């Protein structure tokens, strides 16, 4: 089992013929992802990476029955690309693009919800269901199938945590990079709900960071509604208030959004919170051994 995507997902790439999209789409194909085509306005009818190119997402969906889109569209056009995908019936929209104007993301997120679709990102590394489908920029060789779900704000830490989990003899069911922007499509809670229902996911690792309240909301959900073990790490424990650290959303406002606040809330919810990311693999192994 898995969440969001699997080997049967039919994937298109928006911005398909661009340099970044081409590079990463090739990696996804090698991993085994079922990419059925792509969209680049004005290049419809061409063949790229042995896949058909369409002018619009609507045309691509009509011809290929695609249900997932991976977006590599420049920031100024990415909001429209997200809404185009949702309007055409795509159900899982994975937006890799960073630097999208906040207002554009807000409008796109509302539209996606109205259409009954799900947005992952923007400014995220994507989704990978181990040994089945990779939609994004994650290094596929790190991941092996197993019982641990992974939700992360950090791309790099996603790969590192997955590697640790694999190295202790476990593996990853699905890993989701939710993105580090102030406004994102899917939250920790949204994905925890899915992992709760996935019978083959026995535990979850959460990688959070300073800024915002997504981890606080996750703690509340875990405390009352999540019934599987959780290990968490919060990045930015030494970050000074008022200074943005890396991601656009990683900024402490006053006393809100600090690493300490989030770590305390998660601990109070029964989560095993580690001080260092180097401890994640061994702790998730210990927890599953006990269960």
152 with 258, same domain: the answer is yes
Chosen domain end from 120, 148, 176? 120
Tell me if 129 is assigned to some domain. Answer: no
Which has more pLDDT, 1 or 275? 275
Mean pLDDT of the chain: 93
> Is 291 among the catalytic positions?
no
Whether the per-residue pLDDT at 114 is higher than 50: the answer is yes
219 with 95, same domain: the answer is no
Chosen domain end from 120, 147, 168? 120
Confidence bin at 250 (pLDDT 50/70/90): very low
Q: What is the structure's pLDDT at 253?
A: 52
| Mean pLDDT confidence for 182-209 | 96
Query: How many domains are contained in the chain?
Result: 2
Which has more pLDDT, 211 or 107? 107
Confidence bin at 111 (pLDDT 50/70/90): very high
Q: What is the structure's pLDDT at 80?
A: 98
Which has more pLDDT, 210 or 40? 40
143 with 112, same domain: the answer is no
Q: What is the structure's pLDDT at 243?
A: 52
173 with 58, same domain: the answer is no
160 with 285, same domain: the answer is yes
**List 224, 227, 247, 291, catalytic entry:** 247
What pTM, to 2 d.p., does this model score?
0.93
Token pair in block for residue 222? 């875990």
244 is in which domain, residue-wise?
138-290
69 with 155, same domain: the answer is no
Chosen domain end from 120, 153, 184? 120
Q: What is the structure's pLDDT at 248?
A: 53
């Amino acid at each position: 089992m898995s969440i969001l995507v699997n080997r049967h997902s039919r994937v298109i790439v928006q911005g398909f013929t661009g340099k970044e999209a081409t590079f990463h789409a090739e990696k996804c194909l090698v991993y085994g992802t079922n990419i059925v085509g792509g969209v680049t306005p004005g290049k419809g009818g061409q063949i790229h990476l042995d896949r058909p190119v369409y002018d619009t997402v609507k045309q691509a969906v009509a011809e290929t029955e695609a249900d997932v889109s991976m977006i590599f569209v420049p920031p100024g056009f990415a909001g429209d690309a997200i809404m185009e995908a949702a309007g055409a019936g795509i159900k899982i929209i994975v937006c890799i693009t960073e630097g999208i104007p906040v207002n554009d993301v807000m409008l796109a997120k509302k539209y996606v919800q109205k259409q009954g679709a799900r947005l992952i990102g923007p400014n995220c590394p994507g989704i990978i269901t181990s040994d089945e489908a990779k939609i994004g920029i994650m290094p596929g060789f790190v991941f092996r199938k197993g019982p641990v779900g992974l939700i992360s704000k950090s791309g790099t830490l996603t790969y590192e945590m997955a590697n640790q989990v694999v190295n202790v003899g476990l593996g990853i069911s699905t890993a989701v990079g939710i993105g580090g922007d102030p406004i994102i499509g899917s939250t920790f809670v949204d994905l925890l709900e899915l992992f709760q229902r996935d019978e083959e996911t026995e535990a979850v690792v959460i990688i959070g960071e300073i800024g915002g309240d997504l981890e606080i909301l996750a703690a509340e959900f875990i405390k009352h509604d999540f019934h599987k073990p959780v290990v968490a790490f919060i990045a930015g424990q030494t970050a000074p208030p008022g200074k943005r650290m890396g991601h656009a959303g990683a900024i402490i406002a006053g006393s809100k959004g600090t690493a300490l606040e989030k770590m305390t809330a998660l601990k109070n919810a029964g989560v095993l919170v580690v001080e260092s990311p180097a401890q994640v693999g061994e702790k998730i192994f210990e927890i599953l051994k006990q269960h």
